[in-house]
Structure 1
């Protein structure tokens, strides 16, 4: 859907709900994904990532988030990113947990920053997303796979290590592609 100017406020509402539970250990709660980029069309689901200093902090934060109504779903195949399901009413959202320095967090922050700073790049991404949403309106895996090369281009412009694109392609591959 087109950009909704209420998305930043929805993020802040969710952040205020989460931060008290994690603030002793966490470094930040980041608004990531397309809803974090002004003007970018997106699925109306806020993506948030709790950032912790070390991998060893992850179990403690998983416990703290469970106390405030989140169910841990595991890494869902993305190393360095734990996913959670919300038991709350309120803005639809995906909550993640990543240690500082993880590839998953690094990618989210680089892409968010690049799209915020470069309106032409954000317009290109918006056009691609709209095209893919029309073409794959009932196939989220194909939609996600269709964005991969563009996102790799953004990461490459930011100086991503040469071995990492293979990891990202693998994480975003359609199930039938990864089985070949």
Structure 2
């Protein structure tokens, strides 16, 4: 989950990055957190319809992830989506058609799961693209699901985000990196939660 509102990522080697693609998420160097907004799930469904309309069955999965996918959680007003395609490295298979409906490629990370990030035409969003079966998709979903299920985890994550939002940052990635401690902690808990749940079924 990433430079964005999903769990922060490690250093990822070679990157192609558009100029300040996440700049709108900083206001005078500070991260603006919004209170939970009932529009966020609607905005996801709107963009899901746009993406599926452009790509059809080339969309192998498409999920709402990150803090805007968790009811009751304060978040940057930026909707995170994660999409699986057959091969995210093969940009010709999906990028042209997404550009036709207004999406723009802002980050390409060939050395990190062939990760791509696109911005949308109207909604502040991050569309993450990975190949089908990529473990990062499962990681994003698990983090979301654990925060939905555990009120204490939501409270701890919110407290860290609010504290960090009071600081000034040069880049949104620096803010994301500063969350790595709580993200790692919560992901470890999420793995244990998932394992426990699987034993009871």
TM-score strictly above 0.5: yes
Structure 2 Cα separation of the partners of residues 140 and 75 of structure 1: 17
Matches within 5 A, 1:132-171: 132-136=164-168, 139-159=171-191
Structure 2 Cα separation of the partners of residues 106 and 33 of structure 1: 12
1:107 to 139, 142, 161: 139
Structure 2 Cα separation of the partners of residues 54 and 42 of structure 1: 30
Q: 1:4 to 1:137 in 2, by over 3 A?
A: farther
Check conservation: 1:78, 1:104, Cα contact below 8 A: no
1:37 to 61, 70, 74: 70
Check conservation: 1:25, 1:57, Cα contact below 8 A: no
Deviations along 1:3-32, whole A, 9 cap, x unmatched?
A: 111111111111111111122221222111
Q: Which has the higher contact order (CA 8 A, sep 6+)?
A: 2
Check conservation: 2:117, 2:126, Cα contact below 8 A: yes
Q: 1:100 to 1:117 in 2, by over 3 A?
A: farther
Q: 1:74 to 1:139 in 2, by over 3 A?
A: closer
More helix by share: 1
Structure 1 Cα separation of the partners of residues 164 and 111 of structure 2: 22
1:93 to 125, 129, 144: 125
Matches within 5 A, 1:1-180: 1-55=34-88, 59-76=92-109, 79-80=112-113, 81-86=115-120, 88-89=121-122, 91-136=123-168, 139-159=171-191
What is the CA RMSD across the aligned residues, in angstroms?
Answer: 2.3
Q: TM-score when scaled to structure 2?
A: 0.69
Deviations along 1:54-75, whole A, 9 cap, x unmatched?
A: 5566541223212222222342
Q: Structure 1, unaligned stretches of length 5 or more?
A: 161-180
Check conservation: 1:34, 1:112, Cα contact below 8 A: yes
Aligned length in residues: 158
Cα distance, 1:139 vs. partner?
A: 4.9
The secondary structure found in structure 2 opposite 1:108 is helix
Q: TM-score when scaled to structure 1?
A: 0.76
Q: Which residue of the partner structure matches residue 3 of structure 2? A: none
